[in-house]
Amino acid sequence: MTSNKIMKVRNIGISAHIDSGKTTLTERILFLTKRIHRIHEVRGKDGVGATMDSMDLEKERGITIASAATYCTWKNHEINIIDTPGHVDFTIEVERALRVMDGSVLVLCGVGGVQSQSITVDIQMKRYNVPCIAFINKCDRSGANPNRVIAQLRDKLGHNPVALQIPIGLESAHEGVVDLVSMKALYFEDEFGQEVREAEIPDSLMEEARRAREEMLDAVSIFSDELTEAILEESEIEEAVIRSAIRQGLSQRGLTPVMMGSAYKNKGIQPLLDGFCHYLPSPLDIENYALDIEDNEAKVLLKPDTTAPLVALAFKLEDTPYGQLTYIRVYQGQLAKSETMINMRTGKKIKIGRIVRMHASKMEDVEVIPSGFIGALFGIDCASGDTFVAPGINVSMSSMYVPEPVISLAIKPKDHKSETNMSKALNRFVKEDPTFNTSFNEETGETLISGMGELHLEIYLERMRREYNVEIITGEPRVAYRETITQKADFDYIHKKQTGGAGQFGRVAGYMEPEPDVEFEFDNKVTGGNIPTQYIPACEKGFAECMKKGPWMKYPVNGIRVVLNDGASHAVDSSEMAFQAAARGAFQQAYAKARPVLLEPVMKVVVETPGEYFGNVMGSLNQRRGMIVGSHDEGATSSIEADVPLAEMFGYATVLRSLTQGKAQFTMEFSAYKEVPKSIVAEIEKKRASADHSNA
């Protein structure tokens, strides 16, 4: 594939807060690019649901659960789109989409503006350095105010927002937009907005349009000497010069172009599609790097060139009736049928079989996925985040960030058939979703599933029932508590065992201290060979094993630095096993003296409620040990932000519904681990003792 063709490729993620209209926008894009021939709504009366919400649960609940990939063509540009969920419980779907995207669209509600999940998505974009266009949706809604949303982009997210449009009317009077680059009014005719009528700007808006254009040119001219010169000389400015400057600023993440409209009312979609082509980068504009495994992981710049050796990244897995489907982004070279590639993690050679391109749940067979494109492979065994390369290439791509699960649930199958099917389901879900974990408690005979929130686990339980016909008994949700220490403590422990013949001997001495920013750090400061070098890894392994289950409350331990500075060995009786046992004994000895404390996950909770229920909602958060961080009014709606322990948030959705007659909604995401008050620790100990007693 030539460079000119790759220049016309756009890989785009669509991200936003819940109910901002991501999936509705994607549906309009697919319709206007003639990818689909009928529009289906997210909560459609026809029961079909939006194209990108292909799962039954997505159609029923009107939410996106799994990211879906598709592609379409607009004005000779090939646009690969990934529609992502808005719920923070499915945040891994956004992570993996942004990991392989060259650009993104941040959809913002014209009424709600920058909301909690908008902030989370923005952090993810910064993590992968993804430039974005902001689209202010729902300009037809009562209370819509694009100017306020633009101010929030600046104040809350720290963006440099530049409006490329102003609305023609708002709320029920919303008719179209004024394009500040071409200085034309755009109206969207017929029921589906398929015909764009270009007209002169209405007199009533001319003054506002001129002022907004001046502000736009002033902000954009920083990125173009040619544009600055034209402004100073007061000569006529060509549209191409303005567009080039916007593209330059966007690719550096120096500005965020802002466009607007109403996806549901089919207004403003075509100019947004034009914006994808004019402003968002192509694979040729983005510098992607791999790590050279042979050269101390030095960075290697990848070339988006089909003639170069293959480098590709598997970013998502799906189990289908036809085998594993692996979503893949090609960064260099091309994936061609029947050719051989190597999985860098396993070192195994893989012959490429069936290659497809995805359109939501449908797929189309292709022979090749060229550089810069996204596609999928059938029947290869790999994990999410694996790098595939041509034989002879020794590079690996960095994987995506995976947050730790914060909530667990004990589950048991009702009968033997359910047990077999449950095992199949869990194996599949763990492979597909890195934020979903399972473990087996041998003492209780229970399987524990862990995830990002109640909704996350609820969806997987429902999928087990529907897709695998599993009958499950569930326990109470459990919080992922952690233990840590608060002061330095010394250890000096001898492990000595004589059993006839060779015995066991190992002495370890040193100290442990709090290290909040790490999970576990081991520092070897032994001198003079008091502990032979070959036994040092065994000591580290012994200490690390103790971190999995704390001696006090039996929860995982975090934030500890262990320093080993002395010890002793025996010429005959010392062994790796002896020093591992000595390290375990030393950990127990010092841990009790280091004043251990219990940590709990604290969630950032944002409640949006009608003003009349403000006091009730505030009281309900205070009752749950919530720390109110801030609140503000936006018209008739109030927004309250609080830090609340996860343990207190179970069942809050039901409480909030009854408090506000179903008119309020809340979002919740992990914030940090914080120390549990002593009075609460006593309650947790009682519950744990009671649970252990009943299981016994």
**pLDDT over 70, % of the chain:** 92
Sorting pLDDT into bands at 50, 70 and 90, what band is 210? very high
How far apart CA 559 and CA 485 sit, in angstroms, is 8
Is residue 695 scored above 70 in pLDDT? no
261: which 2 tokens?
Answer: 């409209």
Q: What is the 3-state secondary structure (H, E, C) of 322-367?
A: CEEEEEEEEEECEEECCCEEEECCCCCEEECCCEEEEECCEEEEEC
**pLDDT over 90, % of the chain:** 43
Q: Which pLDDT value is given to residue 98?
A: 81
Sorting pLDDT into bands at 50, 70 and 90, what band is 360? low
Instruction: Say whether domain 487-594 belongs to CATH 3.40.50.1820.
Output: no
For residue 616, the SS3 value is helix
Question: Closest Cα to residue 608, out of 641, 644, 580?
Answer: 641
Average pLDDT of the residues of the chain: 87
Is residue 691 scored above 90 in pLDDT? no
How far apart CA 471 and CA 448 sit, in angstroms, is 16
Is residue 45 scored above 50 in pLDDT? no
Is residue 354 scored above 60 in pLDDT? yes
Q: Which CATH number fits domain 600-680: 1.25.40.10, 3.30.70.240, 3.40.50.2020, 3.60.10.10?
A: 3.30.70.240
Q: Residue 674 corresponds to which amino acid?
A: K
Q: Do domains 407-479 and 600-680 have the same CATH topology?
A: yes
Q: Which pLDDT value is given to residue 480?
A: 87
Q: Which pLDDT value is given to residue 53?
A: 46
How far apart CA 286 and CA 284 sit, in angstroms, is 6
Is residue 90 scored above 90 in pLDDT? no
Q: Which residues sit opposite 639 in a β-bridge?
A: 608, 632
Q: Which pLDDT value is given to residue 442?
A: 66
**Count of C-beta atoms within a 10 Å radius of residue 294:** 8
Pairing mode, if any, of strands 340-343 and 334-336?
unpaired
Using the Cα atoms of residue 561, residue 567, residue 571 and residue 573 in order, give the sign of their dihedral.
negative
What's the rounded mean pLDDT across residues 70-87?
83
Q: Which pLDDT value is given to residue 41?
A: 62
456: which 2 tokens?
Answer: 């996350």
Is residue 486 scored above 50 in pLDDT? yes
How far apart CA 84 and CA 20 sit, in angstroms, is 12
Is residue 563 scored above 50 in pLDDT? yes
648: which 2 tokens?
Answer: 């207190």
Is residue 2 scored above 80 in pLDDT? no
How far apart CA 22 and CA 13 sit, in angstroms, is 10
Is residue 340 a contact partner of residue 329, using CB atoms and an 8 Å limit? Answer: no
462 Cβ neighbours under 8 A, 6+ residues apart: 57
Is residue 233 scored above 70 in pLDDT? yes
Q: Which pLDDT value is given to residue 249?
A: 94
Q: Which pLDDT value is given to residue 320?
A: 73
What's the rounded mean pLDDT across residues 561-577?
92
Q: Which pLDDT value is given to residue 306?
A: 87
pLDDT digits (tens, 9 = 90+) for 541-554: 999 999 998 988 88
Using the Cα atoms of residue 17, residue 19, residue 23 and residue 28 in order, give the sign of their dihedral.
negative
Is residue 59 scored above 60 in pLDDT? no
Q: Residue 270 corresponds to which amino acid?
A: Q
Question: Which phi and psi (to 5°) does residue 260 adopt?
Answer: -150, 165
Residue reference for tokens 């100290």: 511
Q: Which pLDDT value is given to residue 444?
A: 63
Q: Residue 254 corresponds to which amino acid?
A: G
CATH level 3 topology of 3-279: Rossmann fold (3.40.50)
For residue 205, the SS3 value is helix
pLDDT digits (tens, 9 = 90+) for 248-303: 999 999 999 999 999 999 999 999 999 999 999 999 888 888 998 888 778 899 98
Exposed e or buried b per residue across 180-201, where buried means at least 16 C-beta atoms within 10 angstroms of its C-beta? bbeebbbebeeeebeebeeeeb
- Who wins on pLDDT, 445 or 638? 638
Q: Which pLDDT value is given to residue 44?
A: 46
Domain 289-396 belongs to what architecture?
A: Beta Barrel (2.40)
143 Cβ neighbours under 8 A, 6+ residues apart: 111, 171, 634, 635, 636, 637
Sorting pLDDT into bands at 50, 70 and 90, what band is 46? very low
> Among the listed ranges 240-254, 352-366, 462-476, 579-593, which one has the minimum average pLDDT value?
352-366
224 Cβ neighbours under 8 A, 6+ residues apart: 241, 244, 245, 248
Task: Give the long-range contacts of residues 686-694, CB within 8 A, separation 24 or more.
Answer: 688/553, 688/554, 692/443
Strand order in the sheet with 349-351: 349-351, 340-343, 387-389, 311-320, 323-332, 374-378, 355-359, 362-366
- CA 681 to chain centroid, in Å, comes to 32
Q: Which CATH number fits domain 407-479: 3.30.70.870, 3.40.50.10860, 3.40.50.1980, 2.102.10.10?
A: 3.30.70.870
- Who wins on pLDDT, 158 or 296? 158
What's the rounded mean pLDDT across residues 370-374?
89
Q: Which pLDDT value is given to residue 692?
A: 57
Highest mean pLDDT among 44-48, 573-577, 684-688: 573-577
What's the rounded mean pLDDT across residues 615-638?
89
- Who wins on pLDDT, 417 or 60? 417
Would you list the domain boundaries of the chain?
A: 3-279, 289-396, 407-479, 487-594, 600-680
Rounded to 5°, the CA angle 17-178-74 comes to 65
What's the rounded mean pLDDT across residues 118-133?
87
How far apart CA 288 and CA 161 sit, in angstroms, is 26
Is residue 47 scored above 50 in pLDDT? no
95, with CB counted inside 10 A (0-12, 13-18, 19+), is buried
* C-alpha to C-alpha distances, 214 to 74, 147, 220, 684, 686, nearest whole angstrom: 30, 16, 10, 61, 67
How far apart CA 610 and CA 621 sit, in angstroms, is 16
How far apart CA 123 and CA 337 sit, in angstroms, is 37
What is the chain's length?
696
What's the rounded mean pLDDT across residues 175-180?
94
Is residue 406 scored above 90 in pLDDT? no
For residue 123, the SS3 value is helix
614 Cβ neighbours under 8 A, 6+ residues apart: 631, 638, 640
Question: Closest Cα to residue 99, out of 84, 116, 88?
Answer: 84
